[in-house]
Structure 1
Amino acid sequence: MKTYRRQLREKIIQALYTLELRDVDTDSAANWLLTKEIMDDPNAMKFFNHLMQSIVRNREEIDRYIAKHTFNWDMSRIAIIDKNILRMALAEILYCEDIPPKVSINEAIEIAKKFSSTDKSSKFVNGILDAIFNDMKAEGRIKKCGRGLVDHSEQKMQKTENNR
């Protein structure tokens, strides 16, 4: 049976939550969540490990983006689930070159709807990720190319004008 990325993202959120609340290492936080089905799927494990490690290794950078865009909120006041959903989505945007940023944002919103304790969480996650994504695009921080990976509307308009 194929393991879908949404399931893996949900497992990552659960592992990150465990890391926040318990004094365990990353492997211990993740391993108890991984089913045999996931562990037997090399593509699933590759995605899971890459995204999990990207979050853990780059947490300070990711948290700086979050803090910059939540200026009315201290990081400690953001719900643990919401904070980890933001971290996961930003890690995908920054370090998973094959995933369109809008997919990462939409997945984060859907996971927030499922895991967060309030219906406002998905709107909060959406607003923060949208603002961060727009800043990253303006800074040239998004390094994705290929169909659907970045918004090429400006480039298309420029090509159209050049062809006239």
Structure 2
Amino acid sequence: MTHRREIRETVLQALYAEELSRDSWEHILKVIIKPGLKSEKDALKFAENLFLRTLNHQEEIDEIIQKHIKNWKIERLTTIDKLILRIALCEFLYFEQIPTKVTINEALEIAKKYSTSKSSNFVNGILDAALEELREADRINKKGRGLIESSIN
């Protein structure tokens, strides 16, 4: 059984291939996502959804990133960091069953594995700030068991 982190890593690879090659999303699905996950329907479905939603909402997600990278342009970010942020923000906004804490933890672990030594701190800072903004705007809509993240006093 493929773990969600492995699926996210495959999606990162697919987004990286798309970013650099500008091949069609159909081609990327066919050569990167499907070969490793074809025997696992649920894993394949999650990977395809995450890949396509991240691509489909890229402009909106990039606007959120841009708001939180003070004195920088999104084009100056390392490609891997930018893609990790896109995936995490996509999960925040469009995957109701995934707790935000899980998304942040996964993003940090992937940043540690695939990016620079300072990337996990950078990614954490951007995601924390973006999450706060999205919560204030009432754009985080999580449902399901264990997804209530606020304590009751």
> What letter is aligned with 1:93?
F
Which structure 2 segments of 5+ residues have no match? none
Query: Aligned residue for 2:127?
Result: 129
Give me the whole-angstrom Cα distance separating, in 1, the residues matched to 2:87 and 2:76: 18
Q: 1:85: how far off?
A: 0.2
**2: distance between equivalents of 1:145 and 1:77?**
35
Using structure 2 for the length normalisation, give the TM-score: 0.94
Give the fraction of aligned pairs with identical amino acids, expressed as a percent. 46
How many residues are matched? 153
Equivalents in 2 of 1:120, 1:37: separation in Å? 30
Question: Aligned equivalents of 2:13 and 2:62: distance in 1?
Answer: 18
Aligned Cα root-mean-square deviation (Å)? 1.4
**Deviation digits for residues 92-142 of structure 1 (CA, Å, limit 9, x no counterpart):** 1111111001100110000000011x2001110010001100111111110
CA distance in 2, matches of 1:29, 1:137: 33
Partner of 2:143: 145
The structure that has the greater radius of gyration is 1
Residue correspondence of structure 1 range 72-87 to structure 2 within 5 A? 72-87=71-86
Q: 2 CA distance for matches of 1:113 and 1:36?
A: 25
> The residue matched to 2:97 in structure 1 has which SS?
coil
Q: Which amino acid aligns with 1:149?
A: L
Deviation string 1:45-68 (CA, Å, 9 cap, x unpaired) is 110111111101111110000001
Q: How many angstroms does 1:38 deviate by? A: 1.1
User: TM-score, normalising length from structure 1?
Assistant: 0.88
Once the two structures are superposed, the pairs formed by residues 113-128 of structure 1 within 5 Å of their partners are 113-116=112-115, 118-128=116-126
Q: Which runs of 4+ in 1 moved over 6 A?
A: none
AA partner of residue 31 (structure 1): K
- Alignment partner of 1:9: what SS? helix
The 5 A counterparts of 1:88-107 are: 88-107=87-106
Cα distance, 1:74 vs structure 2: 0.5
What are the Cα deviations for residues 132-160 of structure 1, in whole angstroms up to 9, with x where unaligned? 0011111111011333324231xx22xxx
- Measure the CA separation in 1 of the matches of 2:144 and 2:43: 22
Gaps of 5+ in 1: 158-164
Structure 1 equivalent of residue 49 of structure 2: 50
The alpha carbon displacement at 1:9 in A equals 0.3
CA–CA distance in structure 2, aligned partners of residues 147 and 48 of structure 1:
22
Q: What does residue 160 of structure 1 align with?
A: none
SS of 1:143's equivalent in the other structure is: coil
